[in-house]
Structure formats: C-alpha cells, structure tokens
Amino acid sequence: MVLHLGPGEMVSLSGSTLPQPQLTESNTVTITLRTNSMRDTIDFRLLLEVISPEVSLTTVASLVTSDALTESTHLPGCDTASSQLLVPGMVKTITSPGYPRGYLDNLECVWMFQAVTDQEVVIRMDFQDFNIGNDMLSVETLGDGIANFQLTGSTLPPPILSTSNMLSVRFETDGADTAVGFKATVQIEPVVGTTTIATSPDGVTCVPSHTLLSTDNKTLTSPGYPIGYSSNMDCQWTLQSAMPNSLIAITFVTFDLGDDNLEIQFGGTVRHYTGSSLPMPIMTGADMAELRFTSDDGDNYPGFELVAWLYDVPVAATLPTTQEDITTGGPVLPTVPDLGCVSSSALLVPDMDPKTVSSPGYPTHNYAPNTKCSWSFIVVNDTKRINLRFVAFDVGDDKIEVKYGPTQTETFRGSNPPEDRTTSDNRLRITLDTDSAENHPGFEVVITVVDG
C-alpha cells in the first residue's frame, strides 16, 4: 500500500504491524493498493480525519510518533477500537460494539485519544448511555498524573476529565450475560488558567445543604461559580448516601481557588484543596462526606465545580471495623469494607511513570476476609515488558498469585517480600486471594514498563 500525502511525499506500507497515524501536506490524499499472486487475502481498515490547518505540523508530528499511538489497539472482536487525534472543537462519539443492540461475550476493546494543540488542555468524556451489567469499562489517563476509573453496572457515570492530553478507554466483557452497552462523547477542554482572577460579584452568599444521594448524581459549585465568589466566605455542605451498600465518590470538573481552601472530610480523613490544579477523583470509602469552602479577604477566583455520585460495595465485604490482634493481644489496623476489590485492568505505555498497586485498605487498614481481587495490565507495545517490585508484603496464610507469562505463575505467602520479577511478554496479572481467618496489612507493589 502507498499513501500519497502531498507533492513528493509518499509512504509505503507492508506487513502486519499497525502503522502510525499520517498527516497530509494538503487537503488531498491518494491511497494505492498493489497485490501480488502470493497472498489470497489482504485485510486493512483505516480512518480518515479532518484536522484544522491552524494546528502546527511540528506539533502533530511530535504527537503522532508517540508509542501510545503507534502500536495496535485494534484488538480481536472490536471493529470500532482505534487510536484517534483530537483538535479543538472536535467531538468524538464512541460506543460499545453493537450499541444499542448489545455486544458480544469475551471482548477486549481499546480506544486511545490524544489532544493535538499547542494549548494546555485536558480530555473530557461524557456519557449519554451506560448499561454494561457485570462487564468492565476502564478509563485511564496516560501522562504524569494517572487516574484510573473502573466502571460497571447501569448507573450513568459523571463526566471524566483526564490529567493530561492523553486518555485510554478499555472495554472488557466476560462469557456471561451481556447488556445494551454504552455511548459517550470525547472532546478537548481547556485547562483553567492559573492567573485568571474573577471579579467578585456583589451579594454572593452561601446556602448550606444536606443532600441525600441515590441514583442521580449531584453537581456542587462554589458560590457565584463561574463568575467568582466573594471574600471572607465560609460555606458548608453535607453529602450522604441514601442507598444501602453504596459509598460516595467525588469527581472534580473544574477547580481554581488561588490561596482559598476547600476542605473535605470523610471517614475520619480530612483533605485540603487549594490552587488551580484539578484534584484527582476521590473514592471516599464512606457513606457521608462534609465539604467546607473558605475564602480570605484577598483576590477571588472562579471557584470549583464537582460531581458527587455513589458506587457499590460488595455485600460480602460488610465487616466489623475492628478486630483483636491474636498474637500480641493489642489493637491492629481495622478491617474496612472492600472498597477497591473490583477486578480491573489498565493500559500501560512506554516511558510512563511507575505505577503503584496495593491491597484494599493498605497502608491504613487490613484487607477484608473472603476476598479475591485481580489487577491486570497490558503494555500497548508488545515488545515491552513489565517489571514488578514489592515494597511491602504481609499476607500471612493468604496468597498473592502473580502471572507474568503465558505459562509462568507463582504464588507467594507470608511476610517476606518476593524478589523482583519481569514478565516474559507484555502482560501481567496480580491476584489477592484471602480466607476467612486472620487478616493482614497486605502489600504494595511498583510496576514499571521496561525494554524486552
């Protein structure tokens, strides 16, 4: 295959490796396919996109050479999976295969997005429909700050904002029942500037509230948002779950407070947020959260917008909050509901920062009994490998199973951290399997993408 991208610009393609995205020099492209008598079948699929000429060619050239975009993301059974570039004003719609008629069993689909602009932006994902039963949709930011969301069920998720100019979406289905699927839009959203100071409107006041959360998400903003709040404000809001076995999660949409402060309390934890960096999402692990916003008598800023929503806790994880240390007779870390014990997967890219994985509750709580959690990882470049290093390890008679190759699986117990391991391919699975007896602090492991 030959791509004619402009005067004197040709790219020849052959073999089975997915080519990197290409950019034409003008508004015309010619595609020529030549075959010989040695092959019975030729199979390819490409996507043509219009990109504004205002975007500099050097910017696009530097982005499309990213390893995250050059490797194949068109996994078996997912005809809609792709790597896509986003420019300002462009809105992409993605759906699960077969939506809304339903999808197939045992799918593994990946969509990857990268913003192409000289401006500081994030990528926003908004859901219009969501019903995937017990299957899993993982949304992960690729960059300096990594936010990983595992979504399941039929509750419409709140908007998701990346922490960089790259975003990956991974859809995995099991061999059981399927559902309608999902529909979402993906687009670029500017980052709120760090020097933008809003004029404080007259008469802005606080209205305290106590909100019960159920199936609907709750949007909460600072007073006067987005025009700006007043000086010397002290505002308080309470969020409480009205659903059994459901806990509160908070996702920030925008955030710019300057030197003012947003305090969030939940389950004995107090967090303070200030400045203009968008905070990471919060999985509180509690059925109540209290928020308090205070401003000083100095400059005022646009404020914040956040969305509060509920996520389910497995019924089997409802446990006492304390237990007796049989060995010493003294108190030990409390066992908490199994907040993070949902089998999940994440996409890794070369040169990314090391990623940390830990057992539910670590390091402040012991994990729950009768728990089985799995964390799966895959590097988009199949020539890369994954190194894992345990920095903490105490699971007693429970077990950690590590699968780091097609036929390589090891099981670890006790309190001695295992030696470093490197996978034999680009995949890794870590499984925690606990019994009904004594619980322990758990583990923390650092995984890093390395050369094969």
Contact 447, 354 (CB under 8 A): yes
d(CA 221, CA 231): 16
Amino acid identity at 413 = R
Instruction: Read off the pLDDT of residues 120-134 as tens digits, 9 standing for 90 and up.
Output: 777 888 899 999 988
* Residue of higher predicted confidence among 308 and 67: 308
Task: Identify which of 10-24, 331-345, 356-370 has the greatest average pLDDT.
Answer: 356-370
pLDDT at 69 exceeding the cut of 70: no
pLDDT at 74 exceeding the cut of 60: no
* Residue of higher predicted confidence among 251 and 8: 251
Question: What does the radius of gyration of the chain's CA atoms come to, in whole angstroms?
Answer: 24
Predicted local distance difference test score (pLDDT) of residue 412: 94
Predicted local distance difference test score (pLDDT) of residue 315: 33
Q: Kindly report which listed range (22-26, 249-253, 283-287, 384-388) carries the lowest average pLDDT score.
A: 22-26
Cβ neighbours of 438 (radius 10 Å): 17
Predicted local distance difference test score (pLDDT) of residue 445: 92
Which tokens go with 26? 């003008």
Sheet harboring 344-348: ordered strands across?
A: 344-348, 372-379, 427-433, 396-403, 409-414
- Picking from 78, 63, 1, the residue whose alpha carbon sits closest to that of residue 32 is 1
Residues 6+ away with beta carbon under 8 Å from 326: 438
Predicted local distance difference test score (pLDDT) of residue 148: 62
pLDDT at 56 exceeding the cut of 50: no
* Residue of higher predicted confidence among 316 and 298: 298
d(CA 3, CA 340): 47
Contact 73, 82 (CB under 8 A): yes
Instruction: Read off the pLDDT of residues 323-352 as tens digits, 9 standing for 90 and up.
Output: 332 233 333 333 334 344 555 556 677 777
Cβ neighbours of 7 (radius 10 Å): 8
Between the two ends of the chain, the Cα-to-Cα distance in Å is: 30
Does the predicted TM-score (pTM) go above 0.75?
no
d(CA 344, CA 299): 43
3 state SS of 243: coil
Which tokens go with 25? 């020099």
Predicted local distance difference test score (pLDDT) of residue 163: 65
Contact 322, 236 (CB under 8 A): no
Instruction: Read off the pLDDT of residues 146-166 as tens digits, 9 standing for 90 and up.
Output: 446 778 888 787 777 776 778
3 state SS of 317: helix
d(CA 135, CA 311): 15
pLDDT at 430 exceeding the cut of 50: yes
Sheet harboring 209-213: ordered strands across?
A: 209-213, 234-241, 288-294, 258-266, 269-275
Q: Kindly report which listed range (99-108, 148-157, 207-216) carries the lowest average pLDDT score.
A: 207-216
Which tokens go with 36? 């010989």
CA 96 vs CA 136, 146, 353: distances in Å: 11, 24, 29
Q: Rounding to the nearest 10 degrees, give the CA dihedral for residues 91, 96, 97, 103.
A: -160
Predicted local distance difference test score (pLDDT) of residue 189: 78
Residue 391 binned pLDDT confidence (cut-offs 50, 70, 90): very high
d(CA 259, CA 346): 35
Q: Element (H or E) spanning 51, and its range?
A: none
Contact 214, 243 (CB under 8 A): yes
Task: Identify which of 29-33, 62-66, 256-260 has the greatest average pLDDT.
Answer: 256-260
* Whole-number average pLDDT of the chain: 74
Predicted local distance difference test score (pLDDT) of residue 225: 82
Contact 247, 304 (CB under 8 A): no
d(CA 42, CA 30): 18
**Residue count (the chain):** 452
pLDDT at 273 exceeding the cut of 90: yes
Contact 18, 74 (CB under 8 A): yes
Please tell me what DSSP assigns to residue 28. -
DSSP string, 63-119: HHT-HHHHS----TT-TT-EEEEE-TT-EEEEE-TTTTT---SS-EEEEEEEE--SS
Percentage of residues in the chain having pLDDT higher than 90: 15
Predicted local distance difference test score (pLDDT) of residue 39: 52
3 state SS of 182: strand
Cβ neighbours of 212 (radius 10 Å): 11
d(CA 407, CA 405): 5
Residue 301 binned pLDDT confidence (cut-offs 50, 70, 90): confident
Predicted local distance difference test score (pLDDT) of residue 6: 73
**Regarding beta strands 218-221 and 303-312, do their DSSP bridges make them parallel or antiparallel, or are they unpaired?**
antiparallel
* Cis peptide upstream of residue 354 (ω within 30 degrees of 0): no
* Cis peptide upstream of residue 406 (ω within 30 degrees of 0): no
d(CA 140, CA 167): 6
Predicted local distance difference test score (pLDDT) of residue 33: 80
